[in-house]
Structure 1
Amino acid sequence: MRAGTTYTVDAMLADDRSIRVLEMNSNPFLHPLLYRCMIPAYLSKPLTTDEAQAHETNLH
């Protein structure tokens, strides 16, 4: 994993309540609200950890 990169993980919950990981994707389809966090990195400087956490908090 690296900073400034978004990944998704596809998984299933089995009948025995265990998680079966199917794949990890480094070029995922993202929810539109995540772009609000990503765009500053493309336009200027990357977000600090505190800024990224603040954005994450605002998503909930």
Structure 2
Amino acid sequence: MTAASPSPLAVLVLAAGQGTRMRSARAKVLHPVGGRAMIAHVIACARALGSARL
């Protein structure tokens, strides 16, 4: 029996929300966390995992 080669990693980022409960006109994913937008942290993590598709 041979070992199956792993499939390339694909990442789907679900990013939605207006941020109204945060009392902001800015979308939730664009709010800064640690000096970068929240979505930037998610994208950096996906790239660090070696995602073939994002």
TM-score range, shorter chain: under 0.3
Which structure carries more helix by proportion? Answer: 1
- Highest RCO, 1 vs 2 (Cα 8 Å, sep ≥ 6): 2
- Return the index of the structure with the highest Cα Rg: 2
Which structure carries more strand by proportion? Answer: 1
